[in-house]
């Protein structure tokens, strides 16, 4: 229809031009035909019309599963050699290029490769073991265009340490608690196994676990940290005296850093109810070690956990080395001397400030980093604050909460945050907020939310004291990348990293993307790294374990393409003779007009 309109329009315009405008009469028929021909070809090219060719656009695209689960089978190399002669062979599994033929991909992701193949309008064939993890994310029409050939794996007797969770930073002397999960296959497995926690050759803990075929068993390991020196450690969690058909998932690594001082230090002088509830909430919402010290009478300090006496030198050392220093009440001079990158101050008049008593009802302000913590919460119905300390926000500071006495009068800021080149700071100027947590319900949720949001903002600033970049995870699975993130949270210049471990030394260049992240693939083992800029050092573990080793339920089955195969299409601009036809028509019109005496 579009082509007919183009031809009709070109003929009409040519007729009007020579019959009405040029008044050429019967002598203009030849020029009229040349112009109609040229304008018709030009219109088709401008609109770039296309038509079906009735044949496929090219050889089929064959997507071969290169994940560890499928590539570990003996048939993979034979399939690769035979499929390379069938069509355009591509590989899928993780985010690496589809042309990377190494069968060492640590995930089974099909969606990116399938979308790219479907866009080529060629037949698509997927060859896999069926254990594809992102099948629910693939649109049905895209998945239906692909034929699938599944070569399932055999179920073997296997006991796998599926998950290990625990803190990554602890203070020396704390008790380490690790939670884990064991998964067993549908084949015959032993009745019980022993799980052992080790630091090098030192055995820290062990436990016995009863097993069930095809089940999941959770366990917990408790161990003291007194035997661990300060610094980073890669702990090994493994199955003792157990051998099955897949030994690579019988051992897991867990990174822990023993630090001489806590990550969050609360100094309360005096230890009122706000300080006690704040300490409890900080422990609930933070993964960092939290310590609280209080000054009850005189110059003596006590631990807020058990009121045990603590030397002032210990308190000062903890305050100087903390990631976050919380000062509730009187400032004993710890803040200016601390090297911490974040401070939360909660004045209550102990430093000589004016205190305004009354029932102060608070309301949330939009646009602050803490605003989302109060969304959907009836803050105006929460218990009012009992005292407010007048504060004046500095230029560039944000305000999260304001308060009004008896819901009347000018609102006063009671939670204010600011940031300098050296540290971030939050000031809380309202007492009695502990009643939110004590009351329970939505007010308790609001209290926990704002403490968690404040903690997140305070500790998410640029940590330049720890180097220009740091690993996102100190332990990664086999065939997954070690990801470094820029400490500035944005793209930065490339960095050189030196690796030592597993009797080898290598150097890589970290090139950060738009999100400020860089990736490096390493073989399984334990490595120490050193960054060229700043000399930052650390410990990285690449496990032998992978989620790909254990046999999982198949998400795909063998079938032909369910969607109709698209016929090949050719666009007008792919036809060279249309350009020649346009030029021929224009040249013919020019020649005829010259003979007619027209310009």
Higher-confidence position of 598 and 391: 391
- Please give the pLDDT value at position 39: 80
Would you list the DSSP string of 200-218? Answer: TTEEEEEEEEE--TT-EEE
pLDDT in tens, 431-462: 999 999 998 889 999 999 999 999 999 987 65
- 198: domain CATH number is 2.60.40.10
What is the distance between the alpha carbons of residues 287 and 264, in angstroms, rounded to a whole number? 10
Angle ∠(390,393,399) on CA atoms, nearest 5: 95
Please tell me whether residues 296 and 426 are part of one structural domain. Answer: yes
Angle ∠(180,185,187) on CA atoms, nearest 5: 145
In a domain? residue 87: yes
Pairing of strands 424-428, 342-346: parallel
- Please give the pLDDT value at position 171: 83
pLDDT in tens, 165-196: 998 888 877 889 999 999 998 877 788 999 99
Please tell me the least confidently modeled range out of 70-84, 315-329, 461-475, 580-594.
461-475
Q: Which pair of structure tokens corresponds to residue 390?
A: 């007048």
What is the distance between the alpha carbons of residues 313 and 316, in angstroms, rounded to a whole number? 5
pLDDT in tens, 278-328: 999 999 888 788 999 998 877 789 999 888 999 988 888 888 888 899 999
Specify which of 268-272, 348-352, 386-390 reaches the highest per-range mean pLDDT: 386-390
In a domain? residue 219: yes
Question: 563 vs 228, 395, 443, 557, 566, CA distance in Å?
Answer: 61, 62, 54, 16, 9
- Mention every residue, 6+ apart, whose C-beta is less than 8 A from residue 523: 502, 542
Please tell me whether residues 562 and 585 are part of one structural domain. Answer: no
Pairing of strands 146-150, 231-240: unpaired
Please tell me whether residues 528 and 488 are part of one structural domain. Answer: yes
What is the distance between the alpha carbons of residues 342 and 348, in angstroms, rounded to a whole number? 20
SS3 track for 123-143: CEEEEECCCCCCHHHCCHHHH
Query: Are the C-beta atoms of residues 597 and 159 closer than 8 Å to each other?
Result: no
Q: Report the side by side order of strands in the sheet with 88-92.
A: 88-92, 61-65, 124-128, 146-150
- pLDDT at residue 224 greater than cutoff 50: yes
Q: Which pair of structure tokens corresponds to residue 60?
A: 């089929």
What is the distance between the alpha carbons of residues 75 and 237, in angstroms, rounded to a whole number? 33
Q: How high does pLDDT run on average in the chain? A: 86
Please tell me whether residues 211 and 165 are part of one structural domain. Answer: yes
Please tell me whether residues 445 and 302 are part of one structural domain. Answer: yes
> pLDDT band for position 539 (50/70/90)?
very high
- 475: domain CATH number is 2.60.40
What is the distance between the alpha carbons of residues 12 and 291, in angstroms, rounded to a whole number? 89
- pLDDT at residue 215 greater than cutoff 60: yes
pLDDT in tens, 110-123: 999 999 988 887 88
Specify which of 35-44, 49-58, 371-380, 577-586 reaches the highest per-range mean pLDDT: 371-380
> pLDDT band for position 465 (50/70/90)?
very low
Please tell me whether residues 304 and 426 are part of one structural domain. Answer: yes
Beta bridge partners of 235: 254
Nearest partner of 172 among 128, 112, 233, 248, judged by Cα: 233
What is the distance between the alpha carbons of residues 376 and 361, in angstroms, rounded to a whole number? 17
What is the distance between the alpha carbons of residues 93 and 68, in angstroms, rounded to a whole number? 9
What is the distance between the alpha carbons of residues 147 and 95, in angstroms, rounded to a whole number? 22
- The fraction of the chain above a pLDDT of 90, given in percent, is 39
- pLDDT at residue 259 greater than cutoff 90: no
In a domain? residue 547: no
Higher-confidence position of 367 and 570: 367
- Please give the pLDDT value at position 568: 56
Full residue range of the structural domain in which residue 293 is found? 264-459
Q: Which pair of structure tokens corresponds to residue 89?
A: 């062979």
- pLDDT at residue 100 greater than cutoff 80: no
Q: Which pair of structure tokens corresponds to residue 547?
A: 């989620």
- Please give the pLDDT value at position 13: 80
Nearest partner of 570 among 114, 118, 44, 90, judged by Cα: 44
Chain-centroid distance, C-alpha 405: 44
Residue where one domain finishes, among candidates 406, 433, 459: 459
> What average pLDDT does range 222-237 have in this prediction?
91
Please tell me whether residues 252 and 111 are part of one structural domain. Answer: no
Nearest partner of 4 among 44, 57, 45, judged by Cα: 44
In a domain? residue 517: yes
pLDDT in tens, 479-532: 999 999 887 656 678 889 999 987 778 999 999 888 888 999 999 999 999 998
- pLDDT at residue 464 greater than cutoff 50: no
Please tell me whether residues 281 and 406 are part of one structural domain. Answer: yes
Residue where one domain finishes, among candidates 237, 259, 281: 259
Please tell me whether residues 332 and 255 are part of one structural domain. Answer: no
What is the distance between the alpha carbons of residues 132 and 74, in angstroms, rounded to a whole number? 19
Please tell me whether residues 291 and 418 are part of one structural domain. Answer: yes
For the entire predicted model, the pTM comes to 0.70
- pLDDT at residue 34 greater than cutoff 90: no
Q: Which pair of structure tokens corresponds to residue 259?
A: 């630090």
Neighbours of 578 (CB within 10 A): 17
Domain count along the chain: 5
Helices (H), 24-151: 29-47, 68-71, 75-83, 111-118, 140-144
- Mention every residue, 6+ apart, whose C-beta is less than 8 A from residue 33: 14
- Mention every residue, 6+ apart, whose C-beta is less than 8 A from residue 52: 567, 568, 569
Please tell me whether residues 89 and 146 are part of one structural domain. Answer: yes
In a domain? residue 493: yes
In a domain? residue 293: yes
> pLDDT band for position 577 (50/70/90)?
confident
Please tell me whether residues 519 and 391 are part of one structural domain. Answer: no
- pLDDT at residue 1 greater than cutoff 80: no
3-state DSSP helix/strand/coil % of the chain, to nearest 5: 25, 35, 40
- pLDDT at residue 233 greater than cutoff 80: yes
- 321: domain CATH number is 3.40.50.880
Query: Are the C-beta atoms of residues 10 and 23 closer than 8 Å to each other?
Result: no
């Amino acid at each position: 229809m579009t082509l007919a309109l183009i031809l009709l329009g070109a003929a009409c315009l040519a007729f009007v031009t020579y019959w009405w405008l040029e008044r050429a009469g019967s002598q203009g028929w030849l020029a009229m035909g040349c112009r109609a021909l040229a304008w018709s070809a030009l219109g088709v090219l401008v609109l770039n019309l296309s038509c079906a060719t009735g044949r496929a656009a090219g050889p089929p695209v064959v997507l071969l599963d290169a994940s560890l689960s499928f590539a570990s089978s003996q048939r993979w190399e034979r399939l690769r050699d035979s499929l390379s002669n069938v069509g355009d062979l591509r590989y899928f599994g993780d985010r690496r290029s589809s042309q990377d033929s190494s069968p060492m991909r640590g995930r089974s992701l099909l969606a990116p490769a399938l979308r790219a193949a479907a866009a080529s309008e060629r037949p698509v064939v997927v060859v896999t073991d069926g254990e594809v993890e992102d099948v629910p994310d693939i649109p049905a029409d895209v998945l239906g265009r692909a034929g699938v050939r599944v070569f399932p794996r055999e179920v073997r007797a296997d006991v796998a340490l599926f998950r290990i969770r625990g803190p990554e930073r602890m203070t020396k002397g704390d008790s380490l608690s690790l939670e884990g999960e064991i998964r067993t296959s549908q084949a015959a497995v032993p009745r019980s196994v022993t799980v052992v926690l080790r630091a090098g050759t030192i055995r820290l803990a062990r436990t016995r676990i009863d097993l069930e075929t095809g089940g999941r068993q959770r366990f917990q390991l408790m161990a003291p940290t007194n035997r661990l020196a300060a610094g980073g450690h890669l702990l090994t969690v493994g199955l003792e005296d157990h051998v099955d058909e897949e030994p690579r998932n019988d051992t897991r690594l867990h990174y822990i850093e023993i630090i001489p001082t806590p990550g969050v230090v609360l100094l309360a002088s005096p230890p009122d109810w706000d300080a006690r509830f704040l300490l409890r909430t900080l422990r609930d919402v933070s993964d960092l070690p939290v310590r609280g010290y209080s000054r009850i009478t005189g110059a003596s300090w006590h631990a807020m956990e058990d009121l045990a006496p603590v030397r002032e030198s210990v308190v000062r050392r903890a305050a100087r080395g903390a990631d976050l220093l919380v000062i509730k009440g009187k400032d004993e001079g710890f803040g200016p001397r601390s090297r911490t990158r974040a401070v939360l101050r909660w004045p209550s008049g102990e430093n000589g400030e004016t205190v305004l008593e009354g029932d102060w009802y608070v309301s949330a302000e939009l646009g602050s980093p803490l605003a989302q913590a109060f969304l959907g919460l009836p803050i105006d119905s929460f218990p009012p604050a009992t005292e407010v300390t007048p504060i004046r926000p500095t230029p560039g500071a944000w305000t999260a909460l304001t308060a009004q006495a008896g819901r009347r009068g000018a609102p006063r800021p009671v939670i204010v945050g600011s940031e300098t080149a050296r540290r971030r700071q939050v000031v809380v100027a309202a007492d009695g907020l502990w009643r939110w947590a004590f009351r329970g319900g939505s007010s308790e949720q609001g209290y926990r939310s704002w403490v968690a949001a404040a903690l997140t903002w305070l500790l998410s600033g640029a940590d330049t004291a720890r180097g220009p970049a740091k690993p996102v995870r100190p332990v990664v699975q086999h065939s997954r990348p070690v990801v470094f993130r820029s400490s500035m949270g944005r793209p930065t210049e490339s960095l050189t990293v030196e690796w030592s471990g597993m009797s080898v030394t290598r150097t890589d260049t970290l090139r950060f993307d738009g999100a400020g992240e860089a990736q490096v693939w390493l073989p399984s083992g334990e490595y120490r790294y050193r960054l060229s800029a700043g000399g930052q050092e650390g410990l990285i573990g690449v496990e032998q374990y992978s989620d790909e080793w254990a046999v999982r339920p198949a998400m795909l089955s063998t079938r032909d393409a369910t969607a109709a195969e698209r016929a090949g299409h050719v666009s007008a601009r792919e036809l060279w003779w249309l350009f020649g036809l346009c030029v021929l028509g224009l040249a013919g019109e020019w020649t005829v007009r010259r003979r007619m005496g027209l310009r």
